[in-house]
C-alpha cells in the first residue's frame, strides 16, 4: 500500500488540465451492454473505478481495450449476465449493469453493493424502477436476481433524485416497449452525458438535465463513439487547491457552468473566480471568510465536494456551518481533519467548523475517495508533513493527483507505506 506525503506551505501557481468525468464514464461503459459491437469512448480518465467497470464488463464476456485516453468496448460476445460480489464490492457503480443487462439479455444477476465507509447506501430505487418496468426482481443470498421478457415503459416517480437510479432506468427504458417518463429525475451533468450517448446509440431520450426525462423505447440500438465530459468534481477540487494555498491556479478543459455552486461559495469566502470559455482562473488570498454550505442534488452544492470545502473552511475566519443532506453520515474526514488541528464539531448531519490560525501536519488515514482529497488539500497548508495512508481511495477518482499538484508547485509525493 502506498501513502502520500505532503509538505505544506507552498502557494500553488500554474495551470492544470481536467480529465474526463468518472461519474460520466461509468454509466456510459455500462450502456454499451445495450447493443452488440464496438463502441469507442474518448477522454477516459485513468482511474481505478474505470478499471473496475472494465472488469465487470469483461466478466460478462465484453472486451475492453485501453489506448491513451480512449477505451474501446466490444460487446459482440456478451454472453453472461452476472456481476459477482468480488467485483461489485470494489465499486458500487457496478450496479449500472443491471438496467442494460435486463433490457438486452432479459436477465441480470448483480451482487448487492452494500454500504459505504460513511454508512448505508440503499439501491431500493433501482430495484423499484426495474419492477415498474415489468421485471421480476428477487433478492437472494445477497444478489439482485432479475428477469424480464420485454420491459414495458410507464411512469416512474422517484422519492429522491438518485443519480444511479435515474441512469439505470434511462438505460433499461431505452429498449423497453413504449414510453417511460421519469419524474423527480436527477439533473446532474453526468445524466445529460449519458442521455447524449444513448441517443447516439439510437435511443430516444429527452428532457435530461430537467427533473422529467422521457424515454421512448426502441427495438435496436447500435454502437457509438463518444467523448466524456470534463470531471466537475476534479475541477472543483483544484479550485479549492488554489484557494486554500492563496495561490493562482488556472483550470483548463473544464465546464465552468458545472461548478457554479462551488464557485459561488468560493467567491463568498473571498476567492476571485473568473470563468472564460472552458477555463477557470482562481485567485486565492490569505484570510478567507467562513461561509455556510448545504449539500444538495445538482445544481446545488455537490456532496462530493463537502469534505474538500470543509478542509478549506478550517482556516477561514469565523464559524462555518456545513450541512450534508444527500448522504447524512458522510463525515469520516472530520476526525482526520481534527488530527491536523482543525476545530470541527459534529452534530448529526451538520458540522460547525471553527477558525484555527494554522493546521499542522500529522499522520492521517484516507477513508474514502473525497475524504482523501480533503486531507491532501489540508496537507497543502498544514505546517510540516502530512502522511496520508490508504491512498488507494484517491486513485478511484483522481487521475495523477500528485503529478498535477506538483505541476502547480506542491511538495507532494507518493511512497510505499
Ligand atoms: C452518485 C455519484 C456519487 C455522488 C452521488 C450524489 C456515481 C458513480 N456516483 O452516487 O459520487 O456522491 O451520486 O451526487 O455517479 N438513494 C436511495 N435509494 C436508492 C438510491 C439512492 O435512497 O436506491 C438515496 C441515497 O441514499 C442518497 C440519495 O438517494 O441519499 C442520492 O444518491 P444517488 O444519487 O443515488 O447516489 P449514487 O448514484 O449512488
Beta carbon of 126 within 6 Å of any ligand 1 atom: yes
CB atoms within 10 A of CB 318: 14
Same domain, 50 and 136: yes
Beta carbon of 178 within 6 Å of any ligand 1 atom: no
How far does CA 187 lie from the centroid of its chain? Answer: 14
Same domain, 67 and 181: yes
Same domain, 15 and 127: no
The one-character DSSP state at 96 is: G
Structural domain of residue 379, as residue ranges? 2-19+230-416
Beta carbon of 75 within 6 Å of any ligand 1 atom: no
Last residue of a domain, one of 209, 227, 245: 227
Mean pLDDT of 239-243: 98
- In this structure, which residue's CA is closest to atom 20 in ligand 1? 123
Is the model's pTM score more than 0.95?
yes
Same domain, 45 and 145: yes
Cα–Cα distance list, 378 to 239, 387, 408 (Å) = 14, 11, 16
**pLDDT at residue 245 in the model:** 98
Instruction: Choose the residue to mutate in 193, 326, 372, 397 for probing ligand 1, maximizing ligand atoms within 8 Å of C-beta.
Output: 326
Sheet holding 2-7, edge to edge: 363-365, 385-389, 2-7, 411-416
Q: Which residues of 135-161 are buried (b: 16+ CB within 10 A; e: fewer)?
A: bebeeeeebbebbbeebbbeebebeeb
How confident is residue 147, by pLDDT bands cut at 50, 70 and 90? very high
Domain at 91, CATH number = 3.65.10.10
CA distance linking residue 219 with residue 200, whole number of Å: 15
Q: What is the pLDDT of residues 165-189, one digit of tens each?
A: 999 999 999 999 999 999 999 999 9
Beta carbon of 113 within 6 Å of any ligand 1 atom: no
Mean pLDDT of 90-112: 96
Mean pLDDT of 188-196: 98
Q: What is the pLDDT of residues 391-410, one digit of tens each?
A: 989 999 999 999 999 999 99
How confident is residue 131, by pLDDT bands cut at 50, 70 and 90? very high
Sheet holding 136-140, edge to edge: 82-83, 107-111, 143-147, 136-140
CA distance linking residue 183 with residue 176, whole number of Å: 17
Residue with cell 491513451: 68
List % helix, strand, coil for the chain (3-state, nearest 5): 35, 30, 35
Total domains in the chain come to 2
**pLDDT at residue 119 in the model:** 67
Same domain, 129 and 242: no
Question: Does residue 115 have a pLDDT over 80?
Answer: no
Q: Are 1 and 415 in contact (CB under 8 A)?
A: no
- In this structure, which residue's CA is closest to atom 38 in ligand 1? 164
Based on its alpha-carbon atoms, the radius of gyration of the chain, rounded to whole angstroms, reads 21
Beta carbon of 220 within 6 Å of any ligand 1 atom: no
Beta carbon of 66 within 6 Å of any ligand 1 atom: no
Residue-averaged pLDDT of the chain: 96
Last residue of a domain, one of 169, 201, 227: 227
CA distance linking residue 303 with residue 320, whole number of Å: 16
CA distance linking residue 56 with residue 110, whole number of Å: 10
**What DSSP letter does each residue of 215-264 carry, written as one string?**
EE--S-----EEEPPB-HHHHHHHHHHHHHTT-EEEEES--GGGGHHHHH
Cα 22 to ligand 1 centre (Å): 14
Q: What is the pLDDT of residues 275-334, one digit of tens each?
A: 999 999 999 999 999 999 999 999 999 999 999 999 999 999 999 999 999 999 999 999
Cα 326 to ligand 1 centre (Å): 8
Same domain, 173 and 201: yes
- In this structure, which residue's CA is closest to atom 4 in ligand 1? 304
Q: What is the pLDDT of residues 321-380, one digit of tens each?
A: 999 999 999 999 999 999 999 999 999 999 999 999 999 999 999 889 999 999 999 999
Beta carbon of 73 within 6 Å of any ligand 1 atom: no
Same domain, 203 and 319: no
Cα 242 to ligand 1 centre (Å): 28
Active site residues: 116
Same domain, 241 and 285: yes
Using DSSP's 3-state secondary structure scheme, residue 204 falls into strand
Give Cβ neighbours of residue 47 (< 8 Å, ≥ 6 apart).
Answer: 22, 395, 396, 397, 398, 399
Mean pLDDT of 18-44: 98
Q: Which of 168, 218, 175 is nearest to 190 (CA)?
A: 168
Give the percent of the chain with pLDDT over 90: 95
- In this structure, which residue's CA is closest to atom 9 in ligand 1? 23
Same domain, 280 and 396: yes
How confident is residue 118, by pLDDT bands cut at 50, 70 and 90? low
Cα 412 to ligand 1 centre (Å): 32
First to last CA, the chain: 6
Q: Which of 314, 316, 294 is nearest to 305 (CA)?
A: 294
Same domain, 185 and 246: no
CA distance linking residue 189 with residue 173, whole number of Å: 19
Give the percent of the chain with pLDDT over 70: 98
Last residue of a domain, one of 192, 227, 262: 227
Same domain, 345 and 387: yes
Same domain, 27 and 157: yes
CA distance linking residue 51 with residue 357, whole number of Å: 41
**pLDDT at residue 1 in the model:** 84
Amino acid at each position: 500500500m502506498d501513502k502520500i506525503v505532503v509538505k505544506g506551505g507552498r502557494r500553488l501557481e500554474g495551470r492544470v488540465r481536467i480529465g474526463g468525468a468518472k461519474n460520466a464514464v461509468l454509466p456510459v461503459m455500462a450502456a454499451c451492454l445495450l447493443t452488440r459491437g464496438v463502441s469507442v469512448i474518448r477522454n477516459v480518465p485513468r482511474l481505478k473505478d474505470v478499471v473496475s467497470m472494465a472488469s465487470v464488463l469483461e466478466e460478462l464476456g465484453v472486451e475492453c481495450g485501453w489506448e491513451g485516453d480512449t477505451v474501446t468496448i466490444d460487446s459482440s460476445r456478451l454472453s453472461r449476465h452476472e456481476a459477482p460480489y468480488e467485483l461489485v464490492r470494489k465499486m458500487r457503480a457496478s450496479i449500472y449493469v443491471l438496467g442494460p443487462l435486463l433490457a438486452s439479455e432479459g436477465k441480470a444477476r448483480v451482487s448487492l453493493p452494500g454500504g459505504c465507509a460513511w454508512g448505508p447506501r440503499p439501491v431500493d430505487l433501482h430495484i423499484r424502477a426495474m419492477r415498474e418496468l415489468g421485471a421480476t426482481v428477487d433478492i437472494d443470498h445477497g444478489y439482485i436476481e432479475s428477469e424480464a421478457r420485454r420491459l414495458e415503459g410507464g411512469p416512474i416517480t422517484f422519492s429522491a433524485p438518485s443519480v444511479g437510479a435515474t441512469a439505470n432506468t434511462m438505460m433499461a427504458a431505452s429498449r423497453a416497449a413504449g414510453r417511460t417518463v421519469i419524474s423527480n429525475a436527477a439533473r446532474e451533468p453526468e445524466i445529460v452525458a449519458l442521455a447524449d450517448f444513448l441517443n447516439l446509440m439510437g435511443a430516444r431520450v429527452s428532457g435530461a438535465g430537467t427533473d422529467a426525462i422521457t424515454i421512448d423505447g426502441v427495438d435496436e440500438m447500435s454502437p457509438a463513439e463518444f467523448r466524456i465530459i470534463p470531471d466537475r468534481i476534479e475541477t472543483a477540487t483544484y479550485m479549492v487547491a488554489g484557494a486554500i494555498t492563496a495561490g493562482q491556479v488556472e483550470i483548463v478543459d473544464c465546464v465552468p457552468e458545472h461548478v457554479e455552486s462551488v464557485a459561488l461559495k468560493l467567491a463568498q469566502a473571498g476567492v476571485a473566480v473568473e470563468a472564460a470559455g472552458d477555463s477557470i482562473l482562481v485567485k486565492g488570498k490569505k484570510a478567507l471568510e467562513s461561509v455556510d454550505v448545504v449539500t444538495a442534488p445538482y445544481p446545488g452544492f455537490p456532496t462530493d465536494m463537502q469534505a474538500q470545502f470543509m478542509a478549506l473552511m478550517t482556516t477561514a475566519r469565523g464559524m462555518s456551518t456545513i450541512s450534508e443532506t444527500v448522504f447524512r453520515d458522510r463525515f469520516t474526514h472530520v476526525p482526520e481533519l481534527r488530527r491536523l488541528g482543525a476545530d470541527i464539531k459534529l452534530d448529526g448531519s451538520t458540522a460547525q467548523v471553527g477558525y484555527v490560525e494554522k493546521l499542522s501536519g500529522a499522520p492521517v488515514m484516507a477513508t474514502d475517495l473525497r475524504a482523501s482529497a480533503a486531507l491532501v488539500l489540508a496537507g497543502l497548508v498544514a505546517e510540516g508533513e502530512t502522511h496520508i495512508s490508504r491512498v488507494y481511495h484517491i486513485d478511484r477518482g483522481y487521475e495523477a493527483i500528485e503529478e498535477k499538484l506538483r505541476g502547480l508547485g506542491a511538495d507532494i509525493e507518493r511512497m510505499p507505506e
